[in-house]
Amino acid sequence: MVHRSFSYWFWFIVFGMLAFVLANVPLFNILAFEFCAVMALSISFAGAHIALTVLQQMKRSPQALTGPPRQIVFRCFWHVLLFNTSLLVFPLTIILLNAFRVKNCDFGEGFLFFAILPLISCLYATAVGVFFGFWIQKRWAAYLAYLG
């Protein structure tokens, strides 16, 4: 459903280009704190935008919004979280392949930083994006409320 949206592919390409650029910048070219911090900041902006886009698409489909309110919110949240975490797979793959070119110090620590920074930021952006998506009807106003 969301793979047909322009927003998802726009952010997917932006994340890929960002990962390629960071793979060529010293200090950011390994799976460590710096790379993960940039990815966390990026998913904070993209995650809410994708959440609002998916909610808008789900509101157009009446069968997606059937059931009790709690079930609808959780279904939307998990659906959006799946797509937001899929945005992080491409940059992670790029930086892991970059390890063949640049020596990494500690992969365990890098994966821990990735779990702490981008994944938790993704979880937060998804939750707040879903909240504003249900609370404010206009997508642009909901995104501005998220940013503000």
- Predicted confidence (pLDDT) per residue in 70-83, tens digit: 998 999 999 999 99
What is the pTM for the complete model shown? 0.89
> Burial code of 69-96, b = ≥16 C-beta within 10 A, e = fewer?
eeeebeebbebbbebbbebbeebbebbe
Q: Give the model's pLDDT for residue 1.
A: 52
Mean pLDDT computed over 52-64: 85
**What is the structure's pLDDT at 25?**
94
